[in-house]
Amino acid sequence: MFEFGIKDIIDIFLVAMMLYYIYRLMKESRSLNVFIGIIVFVLVWLFVSQVLEMRLLGAIMDKLVSVGVIGLIVLFQEEIRRFLYSLGAHQRFKAVARFFMGSKSKADTVDKETIMPIVMACMDMSRGKVGALIVIERGIRLDDIVDTGDIIDARINQRLIENIFFKNSPLHDGAMVITGKRIRAAGCILPVSHNHDIPKELGLRHRAALGISQDSDCIAVVVSEETGGISVAIKGQFQLRLSAEKLENILSKEMNF
């Protein structure tokens, strides 16, 4: 006789949570139909092999499943990477990691002398409606992004930031990457988000900012060339129409995460 206990309830709950989280990732990456197709195939496979006990058809589907796992890893490598990143970026897991690795040293903390040049440059560019995209690296390194641009390796400076994004500058169309207290590179190419929920009035810079914030734990600051509005993208979420004070507060909090 089949026994249904607390362990089975927990098992069902965990599977449901996992499927829901995968569903959300697939929906964001426009792979929802593929995910639904996989679920239907798995249900048919279980029904054929476990309920109807069709040996021949069940054996064929068993082989397809065993080979298909490798294909799924190749097909959904980006979604798998994002899932693992999201898992590692969860605040509770971060707290555990910091407990074993030690807290952040004072040398790693970011002070106002680092933040204010970014804020002041963004405000000046906002007033002049100069488009800009600044990516601030945090826990996950952005070496692959840096490699797409030109190495700067200079101290963070308001005038330098504004000159790089000046409309006639050869680097103004790309993204600037800041690591720690230095401008690491400029003119970098970012992955573009395909999220359909992005407001239509937001342009390519905003889509690129959202894309890199979904792929890593960075902070992406955008100055709109059309409106002069300042936005920040963190963890796939936008904060729009920011004042200087609000931008400073966000950077002070997030750059010392």
Cite the beta strand spans of 28-149 per DSSP E: 132-137
What's the number of CA atoms in the CB half-sphere (13 Å) around residue 7?
A: 1
What is the pLDDT at residue 124? 95
Give every strand in the sheet of 175-179, ordered side by side. 150-155, 182-188, 175-179, 132-137, 219-223, 230-234, 237-239
What share of the chain has pLDDT > 70, as a percent? 75
Mean pLDDT of 244-254: 92
**Residue 59: is its pLDDT beyond 90?**
no
What number of residues does the chain have? 257
CA 247 from chain centre, in angstroms, equals 20
**Residue 52 or 27, more confident:** 52
Whether the Cβ atoms of residue 174 and residue 151 lie closer than 8 Å to each other: no
In Å, how far from its chain's centre is CA 47?
37
Q: Would you say 118 and 251 are in contact if contact means Cβ atoms under 8 Å apart?
A: yes
Dist. CA 227–CA 243, nearest whole Å:
14
Q: Does pLDDT of 121 surpass 90?
A: yes
For tokens 């890893």, name the residue.
Answer: 73
**181, burial (CB in 10 Å: exposed 0-12, middle 13-18, buried 19+):** middle
Least confident piece of the model among 2-16, 24-38, 93-107, 197-211: 93-107
